[in-house]
Chain A
Amino acid sequence: MTLPTTDSFVSNFELAGKLGSEPLWLRKHREQAFSQFSQTGFPTTNDEEWRTTSVEPIATTSFQPASENNGYKIEKQELESLSLGTPDEKRLVFINGFFAPKLSSLENLPSGLILKNLAEALRSEPDLVEKYLFRQTDEKAPFTALNAAFVKDGAFVFIPKGQTVISPIHLLFISTVDGTVTVSHPRNLIIAEEGSQATIVESYWGRGKYFTNAVTEIVVGDNASLDHIKIQTESEEAFHIATIQSQQGRASRFSSHSTSFGGRLARNDINSVLAAEGSECALNGLYMAGLHQQIDNHTTVDHAQPNSISRELYKGILSGEATGVFNGKIIVRQDAQKTDASQTNKNLLLSKEALINTKPQLEIFANDVKCRHGATIGQLDENAIFYLRSRGLGEKEARSFLTYAFASEMFNSLKITPLKRRLERLVQTRLEGPMS
């Protein structure tokens, strides 16, 4: 079903310009993607994957493509507060989807590591980009197709064979408005070659009403280990739709920590394909929604080959009139014997009006597998609240202590202390602000 306002995208396609110098294969893919999106339009709640989240607010908004310079200057302090606080942070910064070299920090990169914007990588590493870009994702999915059709830029990260990159690489996406409601479509490509190891942090932050439609493609080579941390702190009026898609090689390890704090409407699709034997993946997520926020997490773990392990834990905290969705799919293909998969979703509802839809989906085609899943929805423990109050803590403080405790479990497995502290502070700020 095509909603009328795909028109604003249709009229913009020709004007939208291109991604870098745009070779023929890329131009072709973008045209295909555009015609794909023009046919399907925005998904509706009749679409199984979008049954519980209506994107009508996006479909009925007329967006302008973001312009490269809308006059916004980011303050040094602002940038400072968004940085990870790790020593010697390597960082790519994008404003409204455009690469901001002056705000980025790319000096003294470890040798062999390639960290640059995608448009630049198309010039300098055309073969590498062509080999991987658009290959990991389902390019027919509406928002992914929309992203491909309009992509201007994004991050390109290449970790060469056998290399360990110790400090985290930060991809920071900032959105600002200049009176019009803009949209950006960042596309990121992360390639961790055989036996390499790295941590990537993808952050989103903005002001005003805008739409971020991001896609991140991740290739984890044989024996490679990649940790991906997403910090979504979009503005309260923003729309945020994002896909993270990883493909894992033999005996590789991939972990995703996805934290969703911002956005009027936010949707994450996080999918990992365990495409070769003996691979492991961990999907962790924390979503905190207050007021009228809607946060939707869809995850898929696809066990395609034998002896792979997946662990998934998503926790949600909902207050006010917020709505949350968790939809976690585990697929175990016929060849994927000895799969060991578990999935847990725990939700804390802090108000009577808050709502959560949680749906685990197991599709198992192999016969020798171990799969578990569970979902809980609950309130704060009144016994614990009373216990804390009986020691002198105020009721609000007691509730905040317990809510924080529920959330902070998610950060136990993070090894980078400054990053952990930053996330803990973000949770505190949310609890004192929109969640209270």
Chain B
Amino acid sequence: MALLEINNLHAKIAGGEILKGLNLKVNAGEVHAIMGPNGSGKSTLAQVLAGRETYEVTEGKVLYDGKNLLELTPEIRAREGFFLAFQYPVEIPGVGNAYFLKAALNAIRKHRGQTELDAIDFLNLVKEKVKLVELDESLLKRPVNDGFSGGEKKRNEIFQMLVLEPKLAVLDETDSGLDIDALKIVANGVNALRSKERAVIVITHYQRLLDYIIPDFVHVLSEGRIVKSGGKELALTLEEKGYSWLEKEPEGVLAQ
């Protein structure tokens, strides 16, 4: 059974339909890249999978780990091992980064029937993970993303991912705004998480991140549907030719 199976997914926001019958299957152990022009629905897909209520799912089904994902609240999705690295991580003044993450981790552990981590065990875990993304330890004590630079925010997302150890992680344009060094750090973080039990979906505009996170599959999203799928070489073709050549070909042939 696939870890994630999306069938004919339609979703709209404020009246406008954005996802128009999207299909995707992701097995454990795989890394998928989703590419596509602006406005094609990449971020909508990420938000819908995370359970954002501002998007309305009008049709279709999403099976995650055998469960009907769309019926679960955002927090239950997280506790079941789903993780979204936000394109725009939210600043939360007054809520300590480590304090919040400990509460999140323990909510997940509790859901799984594991014992909650005490302050010392948590600190040890966090100290190990924070090194992987080369984040300054002082950022742990600061409020969540408050006053972080763009790069720090993105690395903080990956850091949270490493601590929460999701089964399925979706990275929504985590590479945007990163310089090459930060890009490598993010990629290292993602690669550290890769295993045969987990899967990663990397949403990106550019092929560049895929030099460091080698995907098993690349999909092209256009106007709310996957219009082409292929191996990692597809990303290179897209880099070279752009997206416009795809639009000229008839849909039926391209979808799967």
Distance in Å: Cβ of B179 to nearest Cβ of chain A: 25
A residues 220-251 touching B (CB-CB < 8 Å): none
Bound CA–CA A389/B73 (angstroms)? 9
Residues of B within 8 A of A387 (CB): 86, 89-90, 92, 144
Distance in Å: Cβ of A94 to nearest Cβ of chain B: 35
Which of chain B's residues has its CB closest to A394's CB?
B75
Check B101–A391 contact: CB distance below 8 A: yes
For A384, A386, A395, the residue with the greatest tally of chain B CB atoms inside 10 Å of its CB is A386
* B95 proximal to A (CB < 8 A): yes
Residues of A within 8 A of B77 (CB): 390
Distance in Å: Cβ of B107 to nearest Cβ of chain A: 4
Bound CA–CA A360/B39 (angstroms)? 45
12 residue pairs bridging A and B, Cβ less than 8 Å apart: A384-B92, A387-B144, A389-B51, A389-B78, A390-B86, A391-B78, A391-B104, A392-B111, A394-B75, A405-B92, A405-B94, A409-B93
* B29 proximal to A (CB < 8 A): no
Distance in Å: Cβ of B81 to nearest Cβ of chain A: 10
* A397 proximal to B (CB < 8 A): yes
Check B75–A393 contact: CB distance below 8 A: yes
* B37 proximal to A (CB < 8 A): no
Bound CA–CA A173/B120 (angstroms)? 40
Check A405–B75 contact: CB distance below 8 A: no
Check B75–A389 contact: CB distance below 8 A: yes
Check B143–A392 contact: CB distance below 8 A: no
**Number of inter-chain CB pairs below 8 Å:** 76
Residues of A within 8 A of B84 (CB): 390
Distance in Å: Cβ of A432 to nearest Cβ of chain B: 15
Please report B residues at the A interface, Cβ cutoff 8 Å.
50-53, 73-75, 77-79, 83-84, 86, 89-90, 92-95, 100-101, 103-105, 107-108, 111, 143-144, 160, 164
Residues of B within 8 A of A401 (CB): 95, 100, 103
Please report A residues at the B interface, Cβ cutoff 8 Å.
381, 383-384, 386-395, 397-398, 401-402, 404-406, 408-409
Residues of A within 8 A of B52 (CB): 386
Check B94–A392 contact: CB distance below 8 A: no
Sample of 16 more A-B contacts, CB < 8 Å, known A389-B75, A392-B111, A393-B104: A386-B52, A386-B74, A387-B90, A387-B92, A388-B100, A389-B78, A390-B86, A391-B160, A392-B105, A392-B164, A394-B107, A395-B73, A397-B103, A398-B75, A408-B94, A409-B93
For B50, B74, B89, B143, the residue with the greatest tally of chain A CB atoms inside 10 Å of its CB is B74
Bound CA–CA A395/B72 (angstroms)? 13
Bound CA–CA A154/B105 (angstroms)? 50
Q: Are A409 and B94 CB-contacts (below 8 A) given A392-B164, A395-B73? A: yes
Residues of A within 8 A of B103 (CB): 393, 397, 401
Q: Are A390 and B78 CB-contacts (below 8 A) given A404-B94, A405-B143? A: yes
Bound CA–CA A281/B164 (angstroms)? 46
Check A389–B74 contact: CB distance below 8 A: yes
Bound CA–CA A99/B94 (angstroms)? 40
Check A392–B75 contact: CB distance below 8 A: yes
Bound CA–CA A401/B97 (angstroms)? 12
Which of chain A's residues has its CB closest to B52's CB?
A386
Check B86–A392 contact: CB distance below 8 A: no
Bound CA–CA A252/B245 (angstroms)? 74
Bound CA–CA A161/B100 (angstroms)? 47
Bound CA–CA A267/B79 (angstroms)? 45
Residues of A within 8 A of B100 (CB): 388, 391, 393, 401
The 7 closest A-B CB pairs, nearest first, are A405-B94, A392-B78, A391-B104, A387-B90, A389-B74, A392-B107, A392-B104
Check A384–B94 contact: CB distance below 8 A: no
Check B92–A402 contact: CB distance below 8 A: yes
Check B92–A393 contact: CB distance below 8 A: no
Which of chain A's residues has its CB closest to B111's CB?
A392
Check A395–B75 contact: CB distance below 8 A: yes
Residues of B within 8 A of A389 (CB): 51, 73-75, 78
Q: Select one of A383, A390, A402, A406 contacting B74, CB under 8 A.
A: A390
Q: Select one of B53, B93, B143, B164 contacting A391, CB under 8 A.
A: B164
Residues of B within 8 A of A394 (CB): 75, 107
Bound CA–CA A402/B95 (angstroms)? 7
Bound CA–CA A397/B144 (angstroms)? 16
Residues of B within 8 A of A402 (CB): 92, 94-95
